[in-house]
């Protein structure tokens, strides 16, 4: 799809799912609580009912996560805390997250989890209905009857349904079916059992929800939640800055450091995610002093100066050990290596490695010096890049 076409779709989806402007502009705290409930309820209905809005909602959901570099809805709520109301209002999902931030609550919800009946694959849903023999209530020949699914056809797109009187007929699994007069299977389930929203409610009727998500290491923590303390501290300093009697040079230095670091990290984060570093826990560690520290890996399109600034900024998270523990991020126990997947050389100490590096570096640097007076300008550019890489390696060796 072309860029213009995608923009048109996004604009259409945005208009289809948004609440009225007069409601979104309410600012009173009680009104915010009311509109928050309405906004989340509205999104829930859009994501559950199989009338086309679910597909539109999924487009907008993925667009919001991708635009802000978030893993899921909970991660998005942390990111939206630092957006203005106008920016958050550009998407129904970010606006709903903005409302939870305003009234200081968190919502744990994955709208397109395969366990939801609205999101489950057709064949999976039909098979569960056969296995559990769950009854649905439908209208057949102007009579209300109970029926159950007995056969799957066309990879789950169609199912054969049989009533208690042994009458059988074909029913579509999803979408709208204007031809037969029968509801689709998903629609019949929703009408018969309004509180039945997960497949596991059928397959595991005694399951208690929420306990799995709370287990350590069960859920991945996205960048937005991981770096939240640093961004929150920056917001706090900006507020204190408005009070001259509480301001001093130490706070000024901290403000400058956090501000420049945040700008560098926000600019670098898309490249980190693109390179596969989708969460804080996935980035490499370096040995520094008595413990390990996060550092920003080398990335295409990110110069060494920015890389170093991002590293210094995310290393400030080590001053928030309670936060790192709360989000189950490996800290001192992290592998002490300079890049994921690289095994340490057998019998190689850091001092030996530094000596070998120094010899190789000096040879390369001498060769570059000799070449500079003999090559064209285009080659000089690459020699400068080599020097830049050498400086980055020198800095890494010193950490």
- What's the pLDDT tens digit per position in 4-54? 443 444 444 445 455 555 555 555 667 888 888 888 988 888 887 666 788
Q: Write the CB contacts of 98 (distance below 8 Å, at least 6 apart in sequence).
A: 80, 83, 85, 88, 89
Angle ∠(261,267,269) on CA atoms, nearest 5? 95
3-state SS track over 249-264: HHHHHHHHHHHHHHHH
CA distance 368 to 358: 15
What local confidence, expressed as pLDDT, does residue 338 receive?
42
Give the pLDDT confidence score for residue 109 in this predicted structure: 85
Residue 138 — φ and ψ, nearest 5°? Answer: -135, 165
What integer pLDDT is reported at residue 215 of this predicted model? 55
Percent share of the chain, pLDDT over 70: 79
Compute the mean pLDDT over every residue in the chain, rounded to the nearest whole number.
Answer: 81
pLDDT tens figures, 107-127: 888 888 888 888 888 899 999
Among 149, 124, 135, residue whose Cα is nearest residue 199: 124
Please determine, for residue 342, whether its predicted confidence score (pLDDT) is greater than 80.
Answer: no
Residue 205 pLDDT level (bands cut at 50, 70, 90): confident
pLDDT of residue 7: 44
DSSP assigned state of 18? P
Query: The whole model's pTM is what?
Result: 0.66
Distance CA 157, CA 171 (A): 9
Identify the pLDDT of residue 6.
Answer: 39
| Domain residue limits, the chain | 3-102, 122-203, 220-344, 348-399
Contacts 24+ apart (CB under 8 A), 244-249: none
Residue 243's pLDDT band (boundaries 50, 70, 90)?
A: confident
């Amino acid at each position: 799809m072309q860029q213009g076409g995608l923009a048109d779709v996004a604009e259409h989806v945005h208009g289809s799912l948004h609440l009225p402007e007069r409601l979104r502009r309410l600012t009173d705290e009680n009104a915010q609580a009311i509109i928050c409930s309405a906004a989340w309820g509205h999104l829930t209905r859009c994501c559950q009912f199989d009338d086309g809005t679910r597909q539109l909602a999924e487009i907008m959901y993925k667009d919001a996560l991708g635009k802000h570099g978030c893993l899921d809805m909970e991660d998005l709520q942390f990111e939206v805390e630092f957006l203005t109301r106008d920016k958050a209002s550009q998407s129904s999902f970010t606006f709903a997250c903005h409302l939870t931030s305003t009234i200081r609550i968190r919502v744990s919800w994955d709208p397109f989890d395969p366990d939801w009946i609205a999101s489950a694959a057709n064949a999976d849903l039909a098979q569960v209905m056969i296995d559990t023999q769950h009854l649905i209530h439908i209208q057949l020949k102007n009579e209300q009857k109970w029926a159950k699914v007995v056969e799957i056809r066309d990879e789950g797109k169609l199912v054969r349904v049989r009533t208690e009187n042994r009458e059988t007929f074909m029913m579509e699994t999803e979408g709208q079916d204007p031809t037969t007069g029968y509801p689709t299977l998903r629609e019949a389930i929703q009408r018969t059992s309004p509180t039945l929203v997960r497949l596991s409610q059928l397959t595991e009727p005694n399951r208690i929800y929420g306990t799995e998500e709370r287990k350590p290491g069960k859920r991945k923590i996205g960048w937005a939640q991981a770096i939240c303390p640093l961004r929150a501290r920056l917001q706090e300093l900006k507020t204190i800055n408005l009070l001259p009697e509480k301001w001093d040079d130490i706070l000024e230095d901290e403000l400058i450091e956090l501000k420049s670091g945040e700008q560098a990290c926000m600019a670098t984060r898309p490249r980190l995610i693109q390179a596969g570093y989708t969460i804080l826990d996935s980035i490499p560690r370096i040995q520094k002093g008595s413990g390990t520290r996060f550092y920003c890996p080398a990335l295409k399109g990110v110069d060494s100066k920015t890389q170093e600034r991002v590293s210094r900024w995310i290393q400030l998270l080590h001053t928030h050990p309670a936060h790192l523990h709360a989000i189950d991020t490996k800290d001192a126990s992290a592998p002490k290596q300079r890049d994921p997947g690289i095994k340490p050389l057998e019998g190689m100490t850091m001092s030996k490695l530094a000596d070998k590096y120094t010899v190789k570096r000096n040879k390369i640097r001498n060769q570059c010096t000799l070449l500079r007076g003999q090559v064209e300008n285009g080659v000089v550019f690459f020699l400068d890049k080599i020097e830049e890489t050498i400086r980055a390696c020198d800095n890494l060796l010193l950490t």
